[in-house]
Amino acid sequence: MPAIIKFGTSGWRAVIAEDFTFANVRRAITGIARYVASRKPAGGAVIVGRDPRFLGETLVSMAADILGAHGIVARVIPEPAPTPAIAWAVIRSKSDGAINFTASHNPPEYNGIKFSTPDGAPALPEVTKAIEAEIEALDQATDLAARSPSNAAKREELDVAPDYLARLRQLVDLDAIKTASLRVAYDPLWGAGRGYPDTLLREAGVHVETVHDCRDVLFGGQAPEPDDHLLGDLRRRMRESGAHIGISTDGDADRFGILDRDGTFISPNYIIALLFDYLVESRGWRNGVAKSVATTNLVNALAQHHKVQLYETPVGFKYIGELIDQDKIAIGGEESAGLSIRHHVPEKDGILAGLLCCEMVARRGRSLREQLDTLFAKVGSFYPRRENFRLTPEVKAKFTSKLGGDPGEIGGRAVREVVRTDGLKLVFGDGSWVCYRLSGTEPVVRVYSEARSAQDLEKLSAAAKQWIFE
C-alpha cells in the first residue's frame, strides 16, 4: 500500500528514505503535473526550485522530466533559492505555479514539496485536495498510458536572484541603513538565503558579517530554524563585530529570526507588531493588518490605536497571502516567524523581514527593545508563549472531546469569548487568552498563551497545561 501523501499548511513533508522516497516523490509530482495539465490543456510552465538539502539537484531533475512528460515546460532554478524569490519569479514570469523541494525549518533528515499557485502563494486547500485526488487516481490507474504520458516539453533554466533582489531594493530603504552606519550580522543557517540580504547590504555600503555561509546538507547537525537557542554563533559574531542587529533566515529563507544589539532574541510576535507600527509611520499604509489566530494581540491593540482594519486568520500563511493579493493589508504575519507586506509576494519572506528590521532600527535610531517599550507604553504590554505537549492516545481522545465544548473557566479565569477560527481559543476578561491546536501529523497539542504581564503568563501557562491533562 503506497504512503498517503497529504499537503498541509506548507506542503507535504516527510523523513528522507522513509516516506520521502523517489517513488513517493514521483507520485506527488505526477499528481501536481496532472493537476496543472488539467487546467492548461495547451501546455503550461511551472518553476522548479529547491533549498540546499540532500539530493535536491536530483529531485529537481526528476520533477522537470515528469512535467515535460505531461507537456509542461519546466523552468528549472539551477541553484538553491529562497522560497520568496521563487514566489516572486512565479509572478514575474507568469508561470502556472512552482514546485519547491524544501522542508523549510525542519531537521535535515526531512525533505518536502511545496506547490505554489500562479499568484505565487502557497496552494490553498481546494488546490491541494485536487492534487491529492490526482495522486489517488494515479495510484488506482491500471492503464500504463494513463500513468506515463508520452508528451514532451522543453526545459528552461531560470535565475531568480536578479529580479528578486531588484524588488527588495524597491521595498527597503538601503540608503537609510547606510547613512546610519548600521553594522549587521547575518546567519543563513547554511540555507537558501545565502548571498541574498548580505549581497544587497554590501552593495549599499553597509558593513555585514556572516556565519554559516556555505552549503551543508546537514545544516550543522541541527534544524535550520532561526530560533533563540540555535543562534549562538550569530551572537558571537555580533559581539566580535560590534553589530547593531543580527538577522537570520531558515532553510528556505521564508522565516526570520532577529537579535537585538545586545544579542537578545526578539520574539517574532513582537517583530510583526513593531514592523506594523513602523510601516504605518514610515509608509502611511493604513489599509489593514492580518495575523493568525495564534499571534499576539499586541497587533490587535495597535490596529485599534492606528484605526486600521484587523483580519484574524486560521494558521497557515496562505490565508494571509489571499489578503495581500487583494491589497487589503499593509502587513500580515504569524507568530511562527512568517511575514510579508503590501505589493509584495503573498508568501512568507524572512529576508525582507530582516532587512525591514535593519531599516527600522536605522531610521528610528533606537534598539528593538527600546522600540518595544515604546509600543507597550502606547497600547499596553503583551507577553506571548507557545508550548508543545505530547499526548498519550487516551489523553488525546479525552482532550479532543473537550475541545468540542465551551469551557466556562480555566484555572479560575472566566472565559469571556470562545473563538474557533482555528482550534480552540479562549479569551478571558483581562484580555489574556489561550489557544489549543492539535497537530495533524503527531500526537501533540500546541498551546499558545498570552498574558498582560510576565508573572501572569507563568500562571496562565500552568493553568492551560493543567486543563489538558485534568
Question: Does residue 146 surpass a pLDDT of 60?
Answer: no
Q: Which residue has the cell 550543522?
A: 220
Task: Tell me the per-residue pLDDT of 346-403, one tens digit each, with 9 for 90 and over.
Answer: 999 999 999 999 999 999 999 999 999 999 999 999 999 999 999 999 999 999 998 9
For residue 463, name the pLDDT band (cuts at 50, 70, 90).
very high
What percent of the chain is modeled with pLDDT above 70?
A: 97
174: region left, alpha or beta (phi > 0 left; psi from -120 to 50 alpha): alpha
For residue 163, name the pLDDT band (cuts at 50, 70, 90).
very high
Task: Give φ, ψ of 117 to 5 degrees.
Answer: -85, 175
Between 460 and 142, name the one with better pLDDT: 460
Is 0.75 topped by the overall pTM? yes
Task: Tell me the per-residue pLDDT of 279-331, one tens digit each, with 9 for 90 and over.
Answer: 999 999 999 999 999 999 999 999 999 999 999 999 989 899 999 999 999 99
Domain with CATH 3.30.310.50 in the chain: 383-469
**In the predicted model, what is the mean pLDDT of residues 218-247?**
97
- pLDDT value at residue 150: 59
Question: Does residue 252 surpass a pLDDT of 90?
Answer: yes
CA dist 20 and 342 (Å) reads 35
Question: Does residue 144 surpass a pLDDT of 60?
Answer: no
CA dist 451 and 183 (Å) reads 34
Task: Give φ, ψ of 453 to 5 degrees.
Answer: -145, 155
Domain with CATH 3.40.120.10 in the chain: 12-159, 163-379
**In the predicted model, what is the mean pLDDT of residues 241-264?**
98
- pLDDT value at residue 10: 76
Question: Does residue 202 surpass a pLDDT of 90?
Answer: yes
- pLDDT value at residue 139: 87
Question: Does residue 405 surpass a pLDDT of 90?
Answer: no
Question: Does residue 143 surpass a pLDDT of 60?
Answer: no
Nearest 5 degrees, angle CA 90-CA 108-CA 68? Answer: 35
For residue 151, name the pLDDT band (cuts at 50, 70, 90).
low
- pLDDT value at residue 154: 84
CA distances, 173 to each of 79, 167, 343, 355 (Å): 28, 12, 16, 9
Mean pLDDT, the chain, whole residue set: 94
Cβ neighbours for 242, distance < 8 A, ≥ 6 positions apart: 183
- pLDDT value at residue 65: 94
234, 169 Cβ separation under 8 angstroms: no
369, 266 Cβ separation under 8 angstroms: yes
122, 317 Cβ separation under 8 angstroms: yes
User: CATH number of the domain at 12-159, out of 3.40.120.10, 3.40.190.10, 2.60.40.790, 3.40.50.300?
Assistant: 3.40.120.10
Question: Does residue 1 surpass a pLDDT of 80?
Answer: no
User: CATH number of the domain at 383-469, out of 3.40.50.2300, 3.40.190.10, 3.30.310.50, 3.40.50.300?
Assistant: 3.30.310.50
For residue 149, name the pLDDT band (cuts at 50, 70, 90).
low
Question: SS3 for 429?
Answer: coil
For residue 2, name the pLDDT band (cuts at 50, 70, 90).
confident
Between 36 and 10, name the one with better pLDDT: 36
- pLDDT value at residue 393: 93
Establish how many alpha carbons lie within 13 A of residue 312's alpha carbon, considering only the half-sphere containing its beta carbon: 15
Question: Does residue 444 surpass a pLDDT of 50?
Answer: yes
Question: Is domain 163-379 classified as CATH 3.90.1170.40?
Answer: no
C-alpha cell at 334: 504569524
For residue 343, name the pLDDT band (cuts at 50, 70, 90).
very high
